[in-house]
Amino acid sequence: MNQAELEQLADEVLSFIRKKRKQIFAISTLAKKLKSESSDIYKAAKVLKSWGYVIKLSKSEITFRQAADTLSATEINYYLKTKIIGQNLVSFHSLKSTNDIASQMAATGAAEGTVITAEKQTLGRGRLGRSWHSPEKVGAYISIIITPKMSPEKAPGLSVMTALAAAETFEKYCPGKVRIKWPNDVLIGNRKVAGVLTELYTKNNKIDYVIVGIGININQKQTDFPQTIRKLATSLRQVSGKKINRAELTAEFLQHFEKEYKSYPKSQLGGSLKRIRAYSSLLGQTIILKTGDKSLTGQAIDIDKTGALIVEVNGEKVTVSGGEVTVVKGS
């Protein structure tokens, strides 16, 4: 049995023992059920231990004690209750960027709802060539492939939709503290806890596919962030005071995403505007908004169903679909 086969067997053993914590399984019984040799089951259990699972293992018995802190497909699947999003789930240990792999997979026909995750990214991307700090074991780096049947002009609101799904996920861990900073940031206490990067691919003026990427700071301590962003960033653990199960949180986020996405191609953000407004950190504030080399100053007054920000500038309403916002202090 080669390493890949052994890892697959380890996954199968896990799916048997994972749901029954503390139950003693005879290796010979598992071997029969999985049509394998007892010696291979033993080796597979050792692989699970090397992945961080706490397992009591003897030559004849296996007992599952505790799950590993991983973002593996098996762990996420354990918590996943979606119908489409994440039903095809591919997890990597290390990638340059989950968005890049997702795009390659979408271009070669991966199904809508396919999700790519990574334990760490070596070239995690933000918008406009910026980078996303993506260290191992503490965050979640997720990309979702979607193929909405709608015109490309309707795509910008997907970032706000995703930020909403993230905010609703985080609410359970940090109730009452989560804010959405239009168009793609999720903040807690004015610090960034997650960022969304939506990339649209078109063919003949139609959407070919969209990659929705999100990076979530989950279990970082403040010193885990590099100096450059230490004052700008936070994690769910820092705010809640509790270490959070990353696989469970990822599954919960995918579920919220699926719920929001269901109605999006038809009615865009129509059904969720009330919640978006309630989470928004900008509405009512005086802001400076930069788009390309243009800049405007005004009061953010609303977000519409396309995800655009409505800004009042000298008594006139201006609708903007993207950009960089700075809040003018004391507004």
Contact footprint for ligand BT5 (CB under 6 A)? 97-99, 121, 124-128, 130, 132-133, 141-143, 184-185, 192, 195-197, 213-215, 217, 229, 232-233
- Residue 287 CB, nearest distance to ligand BT5 (Å)? 15
- Residue 86 CB, nearest distance to ligand BT5 (Å)? 14
User: Residue with the closest Cβ to ligand BT5?
Assistant: 195
Q: Which is nearer to ligand BT5, 72 or 184 (CB)?
A: 184
Q: Which long-range contacts (CB under 8 A, 24 or more apart) does 320-325 make?
A: 320/289, 320/291, 320/296, 321/156, 322/156, 322/183, 322/291, 323/183, 323/289, 323/290, 323/291, 324/289, 324/290, 324/291, 325/181, 325/182, 325/282, 325/287, 325/288, 325/289, 325/290, 325/300
Q: Which is nearer to ligand BT5, 123 or 313 (CB)?
A: 123
- Residue 133 CB, nearest distance to ligand BT5 (Å)? 4
Query: Which candidate, 104, 107, 139, 144, places its Cα nearest to that of 124?
Result: 139
- Residue 61 CB, nearest distance to ligand BT5 (Å)? 40
Q: Which is nearer to ligand BT5, 74 or 99 (CB)?
A: 99
* Contact by Cβ (8 Å): 301, 319: no
Q: Which is nearer to ligand BT5, 205 or 223 (CB)?
A: 223
- Residue 320 CB, nearest distance to ligand BT5 (Å)? 16
Q: Which is nearer to ligand BT5, 229 or 318 (CB)?
A: 229
Q: Which is nearer to ligand BT5, 9 or 188 (CB)?
A: 188
DSSP designation for 278: H
DSSP designation for 283: T
Q: Which is nearer to ligand BT5, 213 or 307 (CB)?
A: 213
- Residue 117 CB, nearest distance to ligand BT5 (Å)? 9
Residues paired with 209 in a beta bridge: 201
* Contact by Cβ (8 Å): 283, 180: no
Question: Could you tell me where the beta strands, DSSP code E, fall in the chain?
Answer: 24-26, 54-57, 61-66, 89-95, 115-121, 139-146, 178-181, 185-188, 191-203, 206-217, 286-291, 294-303, 309-313, 316-320, 324-327
- Residue 166 CB, nearest distance to ligand BT5 (Å)? 11
Residue with the two structure tokens 């050792």? 46
Q: Which is nearer to ligand BT5, 11 or 224 (CB)?
A: 224
- Residue 27 CB, nearest distance to ligand BT5 (Å)? 39
